Structure 1
Amino acid sequence: MPNRDSTAPPAPDEKWITDSTYVRTYQSFTHVAFIMDCFSQKTVGRHAPVKRDAELADVPLRMALWRRGHEGTPVGRDQLIRHSDPGSQGGFD
């Protein structure tokens, strides 16, 4: 695993982290994706669809960008670092 800087930035909307997972429900699985601002530790985007596709990652990002713009603090294209780890779908020994 590469070395990653996990320190909080000095201001909001400079570094976001994102992750996704799935949860077994009574009938099937629900996938959950979220984006968190490292400065405020606030969830700025989330999505919980029943199928895993491109929308799983796209919807929370669009939500976070829309929310920040709507709050009067739009995120610039060259301003944000986003860390993402898709994880693993295998067993471990």
Structure 2
Amino acid sequence: MPHTLLVSYDIADDDRRSEISDLLATHGARVQYSVFEVTLPTKKAVQHLRGTLRRLIDRDEDQIRLYPLTAPTLSELVILGNRRLEERADFWIV
């Protein structure tokens, strides 16, 4: 069963912020400038992501929050407005 998380962050350093953003983008969609909806296949994958994020941050300057989203919560999701913030699109240069 997949595990969906809402991940928000406040990272003080531009390089760390970029690294964290790139990491989260590999697992889900950016829904606000510092917020991602991440879906991982297993609980072990969630634990791995948490460990990686923990190693990337400066514990005194940064903060990352991971909110688990359950199936009932997701089924009640309400989105107001049509703006999409996807900044990365997969593409191939041939």
TM-score (norm 2): 0.33
Q: Which has the higher contact order (CA 8 A, sep 6+)?
A: 2
Structure with higher helix content = 2
TM-score (norm 1): 0.33
